Amino acid sequence: MDQPFTTTGTEQANGAVPLVLALPKGRILKELGPLLARSGIHPAADFHDEKSRRLRFETSDPMLDVVRVRSFDVATFVAFGAAQIGICGADVLMEFDYPEIYAPLDLGIGKCRVSVAEPEGQPAADRARLSRVGVATKYPNIARRHFAARGIQAEVVHLNGAMELAPAMGLSNLIVDLVQTGSTLKANGLVETEVIAPVTSRLIVNRTALKTQPEAIGAWLARFRAALEAA
């Protein structure tokens, strides 16, 4: 995969360019706060202000900046080397399967699972006989791989949210989505029928950056590891 077109790092007075840590906005970020603090990462004050329109923030360490992006985009920023380190769910890594990403640390937060869910009362036997199935999901690759391994062709309807509506509205037979408590499924008349994979958030690293800047990136990995052990 190509590296970024140009280096646009906020260069320090001594010419050094800070590492960039890509963080997901939204629910993981809320859980991440204490771990970041224990790892010695203190972003500028407006980082935690959801109303701030800024996307890139300096931290108390002049050699580390953070960017706040959508969870799916964390993997893309890191895979292309625009950010050297990032944090995202294992679901995102499974979906993209970027060979450029190394995921050395399970952070133990953002616990949920990627599952298949179907309308309550739909006999499992019905699907067992199908060679094609309509699947609404924001994980087209995970869904296709999962059903292909069972000899079923998944006709994917790609949605970005509210997948739970799709079967009752005739968009699909079933859904592939994240489940934690199961309350979203229940509230929408669906039942979880298969767990595809457990999910937690991971610290991810661009493999090329790790080779070219082993000390700087290795030091951050060690700080995250120590923060996890201290928890």
Ligand X SMILES: Nc1ncnc2c1ncn2[C@@H]1O[C@H](COP(=O)(O)OP(=O)(O)OP(=O)(O)O)[C@@H](O)[C@H]1O
The verdict on 71 binding ligand X (CB under 6 A) reads yes
Task: Using the structure block, give the residue that is written with the tokens 């002049």.
Answer: 62
Rg (CA), the chain: 20
Buried b or exposed e, range 202-223, using 16+ CB within 10 angstroms: bbbbbeebbeeeeebbeebbee
Q: Which of ligand X, ligand PRP, none interacts with 183 (beta carbon under 5 to 8 A by kind)?
A: ligand PRP
Among 9, 17, 27, 58, binds ligand X (CB under 6 A): 27
Q: Which of ligand X, ligand PRP, none interacts with 110 (beta carbon under 5 to 8 A by kind)?
A: ligand X
Which listed range, 10-18, 25-33, 165-173, 218-226, lies at the site for ligand X (CB under 6 A)?
25-33
133 or 203: CB nearest ligand X: 203
The verdict on 92 binding ligand X (CB under 6 A) reads yes
Classify residue 64 by its DSSP letter: E
Give the dihedral of Cα atoms 206, 212, 213, 215; nearest 10 deg.
120
- With the C-alpha atoms ordered 103, 106, 110, 113, is the resulting torsion angle positive or negative? positive
Q: Which of ligand X, ligand PRP, none interacts with 182 (beta carbon under 5 to 8 A by kind)?
A: ligand PRP
Residues 125-164: x where in contact with ligand X by CB under 6 A, - otherwise, as a string: ----------------------------------------
In this structure, are residues 116 and 193 in contact, taking their beta carbons and an 8 Å threshold?
yes
Nearest-10 crossing angle of helices 214-230, 27-38: 100
Q: Which residues bind ligand PRP (CB under 6 A)?
A: 27, 161-162, 177-184
Among 18, 86, 110, 167, binds ligand X (CB under 6 A): 110
The verdict on 89 binding ligand X (CB under 6 A) reads yes
Nearest by Cα to 18 from 224, 216, 203, 221: 216
Residues 48-67: x where in contact with ligand X by CB under 6 A, - otherwise, as a string: --------------------
Nearest by Cα to 122 from 133, 114, 137, 138: 133
Give residues in contact with ligand X (CB under 6 A): 24, 26-28, 70-71, 89, 91-92, 110-112, 178, 180, 199, 201
